[in-house]
Amino acid sequence: MIKAIQEFEPGSKVHVIIDPSKHKGMPHPRFHGKTGEIIGKRGRAFILQVTDGNAKKTVIALPEHLTAQKIK
């Protein structure tokens, strides 16, 4: 699957897995491996809400750096 054309619905859970070959739209490395919830879209990028400690952070990332969470 081509990761650049992935689409996510608001409310869906995604994992932030940074693709180092794509520098544009890359979130801060602190969020690599975190799971967040899609809260919106800004152009081609998605807006996520990620928990960092006790704080809720807003992260903007392109779909190349996101992976859908598998539901069991």
Q: What is the pLDDT of residues 8-34, one digit of tens each?
A: 999 999 999 999 998 998 999 999 999
Looking at residue 72, what is its pLDDT? 67
- Pair of tokens at residue 45: 């990028």
CA triple 39-32-66, angle to 5 deg? 50
Which burial class, exposed, middle or buried, applies to 66 when counting CB atoms under 10 A from its CB (0-12, 13-18, 19+)?
Answer: buried
pLDDT confidence band for 1 (50 / 70 / 90): low
> 3-68 belongs to which homologous superfamily?
Ribosomal protein L21 (2.30.30.70)
Structure-block tokens of residue 43: 């152009």
Bridge partners, 52 (sequence order): 55
Other Cβ atoms within 10 Å of 3 Cβ, number: 14
